[in-house]
Amino acid sequence: MQLTVTGKQVEVGNALRSHVDAALEALLGKYFGTAIEAHAVFARDAHLIRAEISLHIGRGIVINSHASTSDHYIAFDAAAERLAKQLRRYKRRLRDHHGKVHAPTERSETARSFVLAPIDEDAAAEGAADGESPVVIAEMSTELPRLTVGEAVMRMDLADAPVLLFRNRSHGEINLVYRRGDGNIGWIDPAFERGRGSPPPGALPGERR
């Protein structure tokens, strides 16, 4: 596993690097096996230390976790415990995914991703009147995976992301899963409107779109 440990406005010494390395190796050995690469970032968060962990454990599978406390080690251990809970939750499915790593892969598909500059109230009013578009400050290419709804929810949960766009493997349409304000997960599938979609049993607790 390739590991990088960096600090932003904080010092990261050899002892902390060794602690991170040993903890992640033990955690992966217990719940999964190995990872392609891992990143641990320590940064100052007001009067606290924020630890962020990112594990790339397979094609398209990234696990993100973070925690903030007054101490580097405590912050990292708290973030690692959150990561361990995620690995425990999806342990069987992750191992099934890892076992298929040498299987023929489906054609990769990409989409454009944009970061827009924030707009204040005055600028928003003027832009609405003039028909202007928001300013694009970054443009990236992102993978558009072909997944089942259950797989999409797992990837979104592991990455600690608010939303995930994917192509539904059952019918080939673009779908979206997202975190709702009430704690449930939303699922948008345009295929249902055309009568082509069929929800996989048990794929999502709660509403189907």
Q: Please give the tally of structural domains in the chain.
A: 2
Positive/negative CA dihedral, 79, 82, 88, 93:
negative
Q: Do both 16 and 82 map to the same domain?
A: yes
Res 168: pLDDT: 92
| 50 belongs to a structural domain | yes
Of the candidates 54, 70, 99, which is a domain's last residue?
99
Divide the 209 residues of the chain into consecutive groups of 10 and give the mean pLDDT of each group.
89 93 90 83 92 86 92 95 88 65 59 74 57 72 84 89 90 91 90 58 43
pTM: 0.69
Q: Which CATH number is 83's domain given?
A: 3.30.160.100
Q: Do both 120 and 158 map to the same domain?
A: yes
List, for residues 29-49, the tens digit of each pLDDT value: 887 777 789 999 999 988 999
| 144 belongs to a structural domain | yes
Q: Do both 17 and 95 map to the same domain?
A: yes
Res 53: pLDDT: 95
Strand stretches in the chain, DSSP E:
2-8, 37-45, 48-58, 61-69, 110-116, 136-143, 146-147, 163-168, 174-179, 185-188
List, for residues 154-180, the tens digit of each pLDDT value: 998 888 889 999 999 888 889 999 999
Res 188: pLDDT: 92
Q: Do both 83 and 18 map to the same domain?
A: yes
Give dist(CA 93, CA 99) in Å, integer. 10
Q: Do both 74 and 160 map to the same domain?
A: no
Q: Do both 121 and 95 map to the same domain?
A: no
Res 206: pLDDT: 37
| 35 belongs to a structural domain | yes
Structural domain of residue 42, as residue ranges? Answer: 2-99
Q: Do both 11 and 92 map to the same domain?
A: yes
| 86 belongs to a structural domain | yes
Q: Do both 13 and 76 map to the same domain?
A: yes
Res 207: pLDDT: 38
